[in-house]
């Protein structure tokens, strides 16, 4: 499994370094933005950006037709998927810590270093990344770059449909949905306390990843190259 991870890291080394520079510039800009810098927004966007790194590895493989190489080597498809998930989570953790460190160290940053490294901030960013990875990887592993476009395109269409529906029906269903999610999260927080809630969140993220992994193994075994 580590051989596959090393292969992916070596084959994508230049792209990963180039992306790290671009992301760093954007993150420093976000942390330094006087009117817009907030801990929540920063954590959300850090997590969002890190989620696309594993998808990038798979879509680059698709672009270079290198999937056929990986699947011709003496390694099972299940192992390939497992290594992708491990690499994705590893890169997410490293990337989020990198993002938070940048925000803490940038001289122009508007964010407080002490707040940045609170468990709540790290978990918030990690939640965004893991949920997106869990959603993106089955599609990218099955369809390559097209899978990424499918997911993003579906989100766009769903968003447009939802907003159109809300506008024409003059309904406040969207607000009610968001409010009910926030209320549920707050009630869970009140019930289990900060440590219990964090633990619950970690368990939830693990379950999401395991479910996504199972789907990915199933679809990737059926992928024809």
Partner 1 sequence: MGSMETVLDVRDVTKVYEGFTLRDVSFSLPPGYIMGLIGHNGAGKTTLLSLILGLVRLDAGEIRVFGLDHRREEVAVRSRIGFVHEVPTFFSSLSVARAGAVVAPFYPTWDEAGFRELAREFGLDPGKKLGSLSQGMRTRFALAVALSHRAELLLLDEPSSGLDPAFRRDLLERLSGVIEGGKTSVLFSTHITSDLDRIADFVTFLRRGRLMFSTTREDVLERWFLVKGGSELLSGDVRPLFAGVVSGEYGFTGLTENLPELRARVAEEAMVVERATLEDVVFYTGRTGEEGMTLHDRSS
CA atoms within 13 A on the CB side of 61: 27
Minimal distance in Å, beta carbon 116 to partner 1? Answer: 34
Does residue 10 bind partner 1 (CB under 8 A)? yes
Does residue 145 bind partner 1 (CB under 8 A)? no
Which residues have CB under 8 Å from 88's CB, separation 6+?
A: 53, 54, 133, 137
Does residue 56 bind partner 1 (CB under 8 A)? no
Q: Which CB contacts under 8 angstroms, 24+ apart, belong to 76-81?
A: 77/217, 77/220, 77/221, 77/223, 78/217, 78/221, 79/1, 79/4, 80/4, 80/220, 81/141, 81/213, 81/216, 81/217, 81/220
**CB distance 53 to 135 below 8 Å:** no
Minimal distance in Å, beta carbon 79 to partner 1? Answer: 8
Handedness of CA 73, 76, 80, 86 (dihedral sign): negative
Among 35, 114, 168, 224, interactor with partner 1 by CB under 8 A = 224
Residue number with CB closer to partner 1 (77 or 118): 77
Does residue 167 bind partner 1 (CB under 8 A)? no
Choices 61-69, 128-136, 150-158, 173-181 (CB under 8 A): range interacting with partner 1: 61-69
**CB distance 27 to 116 below 8 Å:** no
Minimal distance in Å, beta carbon 154 to partner 1? Answer: 25
With CB under 8 A, what is the number of residues at the site for partner 1? 23
The contact pattern for partner 1, residues 64-103, with x = CB under 8 A and - = no contact, is xxxxxx-xxxxxx---------------------------
Pairwise CA distance, residues 189 & 200, whole Å: 10
**CB distance 52 to 89 below 8 Å:** no
Minimal distance in Å, beta carbon 8 to partner 1? Answer: 9
Choices 45-53, 62-70, 90-98, 115-123 (CB under 8 A): range interacting with partner 1: 62-70
Q: Which residues bind partner 1 (CB under 8 A)?
A: 3, 6-7, 10-12, 14, 60, 64-69, 71-76, 222, 224-225
């Amino acid at each position: 499994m580590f051989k596959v991870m090393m292969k992916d890291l070596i084959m994508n080394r230049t792209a990963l370094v180039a992306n790290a520079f671009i992301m760093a510039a954007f993150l420093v800009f976000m942390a330094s933005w006087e009117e817009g810098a907030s801990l929540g927004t920063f954590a959300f966007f850090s997590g969002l950006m890190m989620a696309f790194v594993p998808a990038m590895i798979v879509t680059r493989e698709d672009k270079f037709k290198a999937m056929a190489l990986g699947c011709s080597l003496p390694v099972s498809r299940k192992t390939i998927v497992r290594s992708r998930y491990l690499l994705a989570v590893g890169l997410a953790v490293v990337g989020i810590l990198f993002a938070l460190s940048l925000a803490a160290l940038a001289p122009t940053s508007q964010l407080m270093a002490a707040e940045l490294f609170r468990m709540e901030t790290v978990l918030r960013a990690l939640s965004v990344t893991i949920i997106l990875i869990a959603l993106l990887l089955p599609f990218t592993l099955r369809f390559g770059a097209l899978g990424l476009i499918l997911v993003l395109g579906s989100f766009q269409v769903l968003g447009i449909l939802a907003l159109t529906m809300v506008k024409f029906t003059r309904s406040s269903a969207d607000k009610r949905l968001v409010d009910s999610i926030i209320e549920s999260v707050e009630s869970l927080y009140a019930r289990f306390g900060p440590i219990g809630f964090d633990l619950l969140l970690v368990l939830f993220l693990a379950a999401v990843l395991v479910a996504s992994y199972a789907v990915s193994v199933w679809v990737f075994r059926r992928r024809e190259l």
